[in-house]
Structure 1
Amino acid sequence: MPEYLAPGVFVEEVSFRSKSIEGVSTTTTGFIGPCRYGPVTEEPDILTSLTEFERTYGDGNQLAFGADGATTGPNYLWQAARSFFEEGGKRLYVSRVFRPLSGNYPSDLAALFGSEERFPDGHARLLVGTAPDQFRIVARYPGEAGKLKLRFTVRLGANVLGSLPDPGGGPTPVPTLANLADGDVVWITAPKALLDPAAPDAPPPPAGPAPAPDANPPATARTIASLPLYVARKDAATGVWRFHGLTPDRVAANPAGFLIGDFDPNLASGGDSIRPVSLSLDVLTNDGRSLGAWSGLPLDPKHKSAGVPDGLFDLFSLKGKVSIGLPVVLLNGSVAADATVSNTIEDGSELLKALDSLDTGFDLKISKIEWDDAGRNELAALKKKFERGLVATAYLKGGNDGLLPGRTEYEGRAEPTDDHATGLKQFESIEDISIVAGPGSTWKANDRSEDVAAITNLLIAHAEKMRYRIAVLDSHEAMKIADVRKLKAKLDSKYAALYYPWVTVFDPVTRQPLNLPPSGFVAGIYARNDTERAVYKAPANEVVRGAIGFETLINTAQQEVLNPEGINAFRFFEGRGNRLWGARTISSDPEWKYVNIRRYFAYLERSIDKGTQWAVFEPNGEALWANVRATIRDFLINEWASGALLGDKPEKAFFVRCDRSTMTQNDLDNGRLVCLIGVAPLKPAEFVIFRIGQWTADQKS
């Protein structure tokens, strides 16, 4: 109660109605399985199209398992995602499972990047440069598709040197700098300050006449030390800019660097310019598909913007919010036996030398520039190359798809002290998933029957644990009817449904017919059914849009054997196409025989769960009970009005009790509010029967 201590007018907000319950989504799906690329331990992000799937988890090319990649097979996870979105699915989470060639995939990613020998199998990588100027590029995720192509481009930016009138009224303009950050690497063209032999930082003129240019300079003379590259540093106290030579000989010659005042303020006649040098990075797949492009990156590894490190090795680091999701990791330096990293790239010139070692068109291997007319011409030619952009390309090597994942990888792990989770453990923290499946988990079941059976049981156990989910189970490939009956005889759960046979599609990758496990199609049909009709409508008698046929054609007599046992069949009907023709769970409990009943109750339970959280810790008395009854009753009346419940009146369709008849004094003493809810759901018209008999005209109706 508010306190009223002083006279006045007080306006308060009050509620005269019960709280409302909003129905939850029932179409969000979670797929688990191996794929070409993508995160293994990071929390899955929601996907809304096949394009988004490919951007994170790679394309639909085949997977190659084993040390020599000899066991090849279709990319069932990509195929399932494609089928899911084709059939009408909207929202998808993916948990990628990966089994390295040896050991287990670590949950702590920091353990992956110790030394090159300790890299886990599956991560493509490359060592760039030669000691001491070298760094490592590592594919962030394992997989054959991790053999990426990285294109580094270095180019000059616009001139940031300008002038303003002398504030003292003098005739000489004052040089100024704009859009320059502390730590930027710059190319300086200043005829008076740099090329004049009397300038403090210019190399001394050669003794005697200028030597003729060497058409074939020796390799020892090839260097980038003579490029006019400097690091811009701003004095925080005075605001004065200084430019320090990148290379040791320039630093030794002029440790203090150049002041901005050393430049000719008469820009029109002096020709001075200060142009930042920036790096661009494009990451592409082997077939040229872009995984991301980053431009305007500073060359200085220690660069900061607004006090935040944003150098190349900070942006593409292993950890941090900025780097999560980037396709590669860049590690600065060599790694010792104790897995400690010592930085070897300390400045922009060292990074340029490392990139120059790729020898793919970067072309900084020029003869040492002498400060005469010939040297100036050579410098001008190199400057034009910088303006166009110098490109170096790196190709990562060594990625592989590991071994075919099994029970351990599908089950996953998530320790309380870990920041990472794998396998089905990843889905436990995602509340909005309503459908879960493992497309391709039953592939090669004859060769690994125990693993496949364990994975199937894991999917069922996960759905039962999470309560508001249903597991879509795949039959095995090339199964006969007797075999699928044996498979079903080992299963019993009201949280799962089994589908048979596999669906035949036209594979856009191989351009050949391909048999696929049905779960991807079924999950999409569930979503389409819920969107176009409602979750209480049985997801059956629906066209399979992506199918060109089925692995096994089933007739009515055969389905009469399968249907009573809870095996949902795909059927072809002349004139009506390929259809899903079954809507039963694998439960032996007749109360939970139908998929739509199971899914509708999950919808009701989760909606009420989320919509009544406000009641926790409220005073447990008549007022609260009445409010809870009204809240749930309003929600169920809306469900009845929409046709989800059986009965011509609300009283016949449901009841809600929350009073002393549902709670004992012991319940109240222990803080329990007990509400009893009963609903009359609609069962599907699985058998439509028309009874027809003869009628004579003289009989009365």
Structure 2
Amino acid sequence: MPEYLSPGVFVEEVSYRQKSIEGVSTSTTGFVGPCGFGPVFDEPALLTSYSDFERIYGGMDKLKFEDHDNTTNNFIAHAVQAYFSEGGKRLYIARVFEPISGAYPPPERTSATSTSGKWSDGHARWEPLTSPMGDIFLKARHPGKAGNFKVSFLFKYGQDALDTSDAENILLRGLANFSVVWARTSEEMTTSPVGSGQLYWIEKYFDETRHRDTFRLRRDDPDGDAGEALSLDQLESVRPVTVTVATSGHYGDDITWEDLSFHPGRQNALTEIFAVHPAKRSISLYVPLVFETQLKNGAAIAEALMNQANIVDNTPINSNLNSSRSALRTMQVQLTGGNDGNQPDSGEYQGTESQGMKSGLMAFEDLEDISIVAAPGSTFDYTAVSGTDIAEAVMRQLITHCERMRYRVSILDSVNGNLPGDIRALKAKIDSTRAALYYPWIRIFDPITETEILNPPSGHMAGIYARNDIERGVHKSPANEVARLALGFEILLNKAQQEVLNPEGINCLRFFEGRGFRIWGARTASSDPEWKYLNVRRYFAFLERSIEKGTQWAVFENNGETLWTNIRQTIEDFLFNEWKEDHLAGADPKEAYFVRCDRTTMTQNDLDNGRMICLVGVAPLRPAEFVIFRIGQKTLDNR
């Protein structure tokens, strides 16, 4: 309470209204599975379109697992396209990767081995860089055969920047601290061959003799004593040297980085733009190349690269440097040995933690806005490995993740090629209120092969969930909705087959003449009749999460009548709005919900231990799964 110690006018802000609860989003989705490229151990990126996915995780090109003879459809990429086409808005991807051998990521870059021309950690490299260039390392940032792209280096020599018009005040025009230059001294001008000179980096320092800031040229490391540095009055010519780097053959358009610096101290240096551990998240997501070196000065880095260019094109470094125009030198290298690793097992889907970063489903644990999770493709042609059925193991991990995170549901795929009897046997092993199983797979058009392929239904269903939530609301079951991308189904189910599958909690996808391909099931994979319907489970998750977030202000408030009244009114206002929007059953609010928070809900022991207990009951709407019309004959005498 404010103090009033001296006379005056005091203006204070007070509130005369109840706190409000805002409904949380229910359509943000997370997919986990193998991709063609992209980070494995990193916070999943938020995607809002398929083009976002393509820039980070690659396109729809098929994957080639080293422990399989044939290529595999890129199910995650197709699921992402289906998600956004069906109406999804926000999506996270957790890429999984299993290396050919060893752990991923390896503890050191040198621990990766090459077998049959493929690196065990999956990262493409350019092998000649490991020997003639000294300690410089060039590789694809992420594992995958998509990392086998070309890298071009274009070295540029600018105009002479040395201004000697004032002998007492020699200047360097247009250059900054740590710039790399090609320079020749006055002595080299008279005693050395034409075009001779060396590479240096520029250091800004205070000239105590002339009492002013100026530049000097160095070739040693920045932590050296600069004993052999050249002053500007020793120089005859100074030309800036930069490099332009381009990648080609990677997903999407070719990428070019113009006029980069060599020295690690510059913001646009090679070691910053292609950093191993980038400071900017955009680099880890959108820059597919890593340039690593233990060389500490830009002159040494530039010289190492140019020496390698000499090996490639057999042209001396100093050729054409006596030209007044910018001289160019190019070098193109091919990264090789990148691969998609082995087909991931359940351990990769579950995820691990390395150096503070998480992979797989573990990466979703720190993202609070996810409401739907799925693993598209995890059930494709998996067989028993070491006595464990991987498809079933991944399903259980999805369910366990949702149970632990509370406010999430998992979308489970049937196994491709399953007959109705097979899917019943699979469903018999699953029982959860936070999972929904869909059958069969969906036939779609593959733009890569220009043929029809089978796609797991989870990507489509996640998009339909989102579309349903946006257009109708999470209270409405995501069923009797059209699968927009569907060209057909793996199996065309009939009514008799669904009569067997539906009671067991298997949501069927069916074709209806004149009504297209539709989702014809709205049940969870639970045997509990209270949570039989998917919309009830998801609506309660929405209510619980919204109330939890909207009442955080109550923590540590005085646990008395004032707090209880405020809590009751806050929740009642929220539920009244839900009832007015026709999201709850009941002809009036008393039938739709109740909220109790008083001495009848708490004992003295609860109060003594800091517990405030509020009881909330709501009457959810259940879907009209069976619409029944009873029609009989009548006579004129019937009334």
TM-score by length of 1: 0.83
**1:358–1:535 CA distance, 2 compared to 1 (3 A):** farther
**1:161–1:23 CA distance, 2 compared to 1 (3 A):** farther
Q: Please name the residue that 1:688 is paired with.
A: 627
Among 303, 323, 329, the alignment partner of 2:265 is 303
SS of residue in 2 equivalent to 1:499:
strand
Matched, 1:16 2:11: no
User: Where do 1:135-154 residues align within 5 Å?
Assistant: 135-154=136-155
For the 8 Å contact 2:158–2:326, the answer to whether it is kept is no
Q: Residue deviations 1:183-229, cap 9 Å, x none?
A: 212356xxxx96xxxx34424167xxx9xxxxxxxxxxxxxx82465
Q: Please name the residue that 2:274 is paired with.
A: 316
CA distance in 2, matches of 1:522, 1:478: 19
**1:613–1:35 CA distance, 2 compared to 1 (3 A):** same
For the 8 Å contact 2:202–2:218, the answer to whether it is kept is no
Q: Please name the residue that 1:427 is paired with.
A: 364
Provide the aligned C-alpha RMSD in A.
2.8
Matched, 1:284 2:245: no
User: Where do 1:381-420 residues align within 5 Å?
Assistant: 381=323, 384=325, 386=327, 389-414=328-353, 418-420=355-357
> Unpaired segments of 5 or more residues in structure 1?
167-171, 211-224, 249-253, 264-272, 334-341, 370-377
For the 8 Å contact 2:383–2:390, the answer to whether it is kept is no
Q: Please name the residue that 1:339 is paired with.
A: none
Among 280, 289, 300, the alignment partner of 1:347 is 300
User: Where do 1:133-532 residues align within 5 Å?
Assistant: 133=134, 135-157=136-158, 176-187=171-182, 199-204=186-191, 226-227=196-197, 229-236=199-206, 238-244=211-217, 255-259=228-232, 275-286=239-250, 289-290=253-254, 292-300=255-263, 302-304=264-266, 311-322=269-280, 323-325=283-285, 326-333=287-294, 347-357=300-310, 359=312, 364-365=315-316, 378-381=320-323, 384=325, 386=327, 389-414=328-353, 418-446=355-383, 448=385, 450-532=389-471
For the 8 Å contact 1:142–1:399, the answer to whether it is kept is yes
Q: Find the structure with the greater CA-based Rg.
A: 1
Q: CA deviation at 1:355?
A: 4.2
Q: What is the identity, as a one-letter code, of the residue corresponding to 2:178?
A: G
Q: Please name the residue that 1:372 is paired with.
A: none
Q: CA deviation at 1:413?
A: 2.1
For the 8 Å contact 2:483–2:519, the answer to whether it is kept is yes
Q: Please name the residue that 2:109 is paired with.
A: 113
Q: Please name the residue that 1:47 is paired with.
A: 47
> Unpaired segments of 5 or more residues in structure 2?
222-226
CA distance in 2, matches of 1:624, 1:130: 72
CA distance in 2, matches of 1:177, 1:346: 17
Q: What is the identity, as a one-letter code, of the residue corresponding to 2:265?
A: H
TM-score by length of 2: 0.90
CA distance in 1, matches of 2:173, 2:19: 58
Matched, 1:617 2:556: yes
CA distance in 2, matches of 1:453, 1:544: 26
Among 565, 569, 583, the alignment partner of 1:644 is 583
**1:697–1:398 CA distance, 2 compared to 1 (3 A):** same
Among 648, 651, 662, the alignment partner of 2:601 is 662
Q: Please name the residue that 1:77 is paired with.
A: 76
SS of residue in 1 equivalent to 2:353:
coil
For the 8 Å contact 2:33–2:96, the answer to whether it is kept is yes
Q: CA deviation at 1:54?
A: 1.2
Q: Residue deviations 1:7-44, cap 9 Å, x none?
A: 22221111111111111111100101111111111111
SS of residue in 2 equivalent to 1:521:
helix
SS of residue in 1 equivalent to 2:341:
coil
CA distance in 1, matches of 2:32, 2:17: 44
Q: CA deviation at 1:95?
A: 0.8
CA distance in 1, matches of 2:155, 2:122: 30
Q: Please name the residue that 1:93 is paired with.
A: 92
CA distance in 2, matches of 1:123, 1:9: 71
For the 8 Å contact 1:31–1:92, the answer to whether it is kept is yes
Q: Percent sequence identity over matched residues?
A: 49
CA distance in 1, matches of 2:368, 2:472: 23
Q: CA deviation at 1:401?
A: 1.0
For the 8 Å contact 1:126–1:138, the answer to whether it is kept is yes
For the 8 Å contact 2:59–2:251, the answer to whether it is kept is no
For the 8 Å contact 2:50–2:80, the answer to whether it is kept is yes
For the 8 Å contact 1:584–1:595, the answer to whether it is kept is yes
Q: Residue deviations 1:593-622, cap 9 Å, x none?
A: 111111111111101111111111111111
CA distance in 2, matches of 1:596, 1:236: 72
Q: CA deviation at 1:420?
A: 1.3
CA distance in 2, matches of 1:227, 1:176: 19
Q: What is the identity, as a one-letter code, of the residue corresponding to 2:84?
A: F
SS of residue in 1 equivalent to 2:530:
helix
SS of residue in 2 equivalent to 1:535:
coil
Q: What is the identity, as a one-letter code, of the residue corresponding to 1:276?
A: P
**1:49–1:239 CA distance, 2 compared to 1 (3 A):** farther
Query: How many residues get paired?
Result: 621
